[in-house]
Structure 1
Amino acid sequence: MDYQFKIIPNENLDQIIPLVFKLNEGKVDEAILKERFNEMKQQNYTCAGVFLDNDLIAITGLWFSTRHYIGKSVELDHVYIKPEHRNKGLGKEFMAWIQNYVSQKDCQSMELNTYVQNYPSHKFYYNQGYEILGYHFLKKL
């Protein structure tokens, strides 16, 4: 398949909302997602996407920062591939493309969070060379 890997311009971020909605299993309203992404545009956020014949089939957010323990870093956020495109090597290709992209921006590391129950993603990220360094804690205010 002829996948196109691209950075999605901020003015086109609305096109990722349906995929993020599916990733969150509808737990966050699409209108709220739109508000949040409008705010994220003003931060160190970029979104990468995979297209197949102009159809957006995969996304991930990229948060750029400098971390005291690793230097310039990118954190992948809301990694999602449409179910019908999974288990075909696309995830591996996407991660390689992202690694190349962020390396050109002088990032020294890539990091991400994945849900505890998402066992297939754990295996995938292990196979991509990621290590578990700790736990992610959340407290809603």
Structure 2
Amino acid sequence: MNYDFKILPNAKLESIVPLVYELNNGKISKSTLSSRFNEMKNQNYECAVIMIGTEIIGITGLWFCTRHYSGKSVELDHVYIKPEHRDKGLGKLFMQWIKTYCKKKGYETMELNTYVQNYPSHKFYYNESFQILGYHFLKKL
């Protein structure tokens, strides 16, 4: 397969809504996701994609910031590859591309959150040399 890794222009963020909808098992409506991505366009956010031709088959959000404990950091968000493209080494290639891209931008660390029950992702991230630093808490206001 000929995969292409690139940054999706913010004007095209709407095109990733179906994949993020799949990732969240439909728990967040497509209209809510569209609204949120429209806001994210104006924040320190970029979206990396995996493409085959014109089809997006994988995504991750990249949030750029400086943190007191890790320096210039990129936080990966909503990492998702369509099921039919998994278990082919594509995730490893995507992580390498992201690492190279972020290092070129001057970033020192990568971090992410993963759902507690998503055991396959835990194994994957351990294999990619990520370490558990803490717990992520959320409180709705």
TM-score (norm. length: structure 2) = 0.99
User: In 2, distance between residues paired with 1:88 and 1:53?
Assistant: 18
User: In 2, distance between residues paired with 1:70 and 1:36?
Assistant: 27
Q: Within 5 A, what are the aligned runs for 1:12-23?
A: 12-23=12-23
Q: Which residue of 2 aligns with 1:40?
A: 40
Q: Which residue of 1 aligns with 2:105?
A: 105
Q: Which amino acid aligns with 1:76?
A: L
Q: Within 5 A, what are the aligned runs for 1:49-128?
A: 49-128=49-128
Q: Secondary structure at the residue paired with 2:100?
A: helix
Q: Which residue of 2 aligns with 1:28?
A: 28
1:63-87 deviation line (CA, Å, top 9, x unaligned)? 0000001100000000000000000
Task: Report the alpha carbon displacement of residue 53 of structure 1 after superposing the two structures with TM.
Answer: 2.0
Q: Which amino acid aligns with 2:28?
A: V
Task: Report the alpha carbon displacement of residue 54 of structure 1 after superposing the two structures with TM.
Answer: 1.3
User: In 2, distance between residues paired with 1:117 and 1:28?
Assistant: 18
TM-score (norm. length: structure 1) = 0.99
User: In 1, distance between residues paired with 2:53 and 2:67?
Assistant: 38
Q: Secondary structure at the residue paired with 1:60?
A: strand
Alignment gaps of 5+ in structure 1? none
Alignment gaps of 5+ in structure 2? none
Q: Which runs of at least 4 in structure 1 moved beyond 3 Å after TM superposition? A: none
User: In 1, distance between residues paired with 2:79 and 2:58?
Assistant: 8
- RMSD of aligned C-alpha atoms? 0.4
Number of aligned residue pairs: 141
Q: Secondary structure at the residue paired with 2:73?
A: strand
Task: Report the alpha carbon displacement of residue 133 of structure 1 after superposing the two structures with TM.
Answer: 0.5
